[in-house]
């Protein structure tokens, strides 16, 4: 029989292995909760099935959609408890004073905002919207400081090169310069406070075509790309959109 004193080190070692600290270290970390995305559409036709497929295939998010004229009800304090990030893919003009107040209130709370493509042309008579997203597409000509300026322009079916203006930003992480078949916009405004993410030298387009900024407590990203399924299926565009959602949700 083995002497009793020889058992002491064996028992001690066993206690170390089975200590609560060791067991906790072996417990897998809880998976992060999905980012709850609310996508707003309306006022502009789009390839619905392909657009929705892009979001369904995006990892780490759950998606619900709201379409005008009923989308503004989702901006209320109660309804906004069900989403973390607002993605705008609408081109809508009417907006009530209550909807304006709700929109700004949600951003003051820190809800994230990603605005895509034709949403740059929404709410032409609400100046605060331009300040929120950091730019504006002008549907009509206007006079600025006594000088008449033409309306913004668009061009369908353009194959062009997109350049990453800031590869260090979390929104462009893993994105390299790429080619895309998409619609371009020209003569639109970009705020001097907007931080350029993507650029192009395509002559039918404005130079800066994606940017990031802050508005109140919210992170905001605008991406000019995304007219139809040729953009939705572009892997670089998908990565860019996924990164943007994560960044405005403060997961990056």
Whether residue 27 lies inside any domain: the answer is: no
Task: Tell me the residue range of the domain where 176 lies.
Answer: 33-248
Q: How many domains does the chain have?
A: 1
Please compute the mean of the pLDDT values over residues 229-246 and round it to a whole number.
98
Burial of 83 (0-12, 13-18, 19+ CB in 10 A): buried
Task: Tell me: pLDDT of 71 over 70.
Answer: yes
User: CB of 122 within 8 A of CB of 68?
Assistant: no
Give the count of beta carbons closer than 10 Å to the beta carbon of residue 46: 20
Q: What CATH code is carried by the domain that includes residue 108?
A: 3.40.50.880
CA distance 152 to 91: 15
Nearest to 102 by CA among 122, 72, 70: 72
Task: Give residues with Cβ within 8 angstroms of 46, minimum separation 6.
Answer: 89, 227, 228
Whether residue 176 lies inside any domain: the answer is: yes
Tokens of 80: 């906004």
18-49 pLDDT, tens digit per residue, is 444 544 555 566 778 999 999 999 999 999 99
Whether residue 16 lies inside any domain: the answer is: no
User: CB of 232 within 8 A of CB of 220?
Assistant: no
Whether residue 123 lies inside any domain: the answer is: yes
| Res 11: pLDDT | 37
Q: What is the pTM of this model?
A: 0.88
Element (H, E) at 22: helix 20-26
Nearest to 106 by CA among 183, 219, 207: 219
Please compute the mean of the pLDDT values over residues 109-129 and round it to a whole number.
98
195 DSSP β-pair partners = 212
Burial of 166 (0-12, 13-18, 19+ CB in 10 A): middle
Whether residue 1 lies inside any domain: the answer is: no
Tokens of 216: 């109140």
Whether residue 24 lies inside any domain: the answer is: no
Give the count of beta carbons closer than 10 Å to the beta carbon of residue 4: 7
Burial of 100 (0-12, 13-18, 19+ CB in 10 A): middle
Question: What confidence tier does 13 reach under pLDDT thresholds 50, 70, 90?
Answer: very low
Whether residue 22 lies inside any domain: the answer is: no
Whether residue 25 lies inside any domain: the answer is: no
Please compute the mean of the pLDDT values over residues 165-179 and round it to a whole number.
98
Nearest to 77 by CA among 104, 48, 37: 104
User: CB of 114 within 8 A of CB of 243?
Assistant: no
Mean pLDDT of the chain: 91
Please compute the mean of the pLDDT values over residues 76-88 and round it to a whole number.
98
């Amino acid at each position: 029989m083995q002497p009793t004193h020889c058992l002491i080190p064996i028992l001690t070692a066993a206690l170390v292995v089975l200590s609560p600290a060791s067991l906790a270290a072996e417990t897998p970390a809880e998976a992060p909760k999905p980012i709850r995305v609310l996508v707003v559409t309306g006022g502009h036709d789009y390839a619905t099935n392909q657009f929705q497929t892009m979001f369904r295939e995006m990892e780490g998010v759950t998606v619900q959609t709201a379409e005008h004229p009923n989308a503004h009800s989702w901006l209320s304090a109660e309804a906004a408890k069900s989403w973390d990030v607002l993605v705008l893919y609408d081109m809508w003009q009417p907006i009530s004073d209550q909807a304006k107040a709700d929109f700004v209130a949600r951003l003051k709370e820190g809800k994230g905002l990603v605005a895509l493509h034709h949403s740059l042309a929404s709410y032409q008579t609400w100046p605060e919207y331009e300040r929120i997203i950091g730019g504006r597409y002008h549907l009509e000509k206007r006079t600025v400081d006594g000088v008449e300026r033409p309306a913004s322009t668009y061009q369908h079916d353009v194959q062009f090169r997109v350049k990453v203006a800031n590869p260090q930003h979390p929104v462009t992480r893993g994105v390299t310069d790429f080619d895309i078949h998409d619609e371009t916009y020209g003569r639109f405004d970009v705020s001097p406070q907007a931080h350029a993410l993507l650029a192009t030298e395509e002559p039918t387009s404005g130079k800066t075509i994606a940017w990031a900024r802050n508005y109140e407590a919210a992170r905001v990203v605008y991406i000019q790309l995304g007219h139809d399924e040729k953009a939705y299926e572009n892997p670089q565009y998908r990565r860019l959109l996924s990164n943007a959602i994560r960044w405005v949700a403060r997961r990056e």
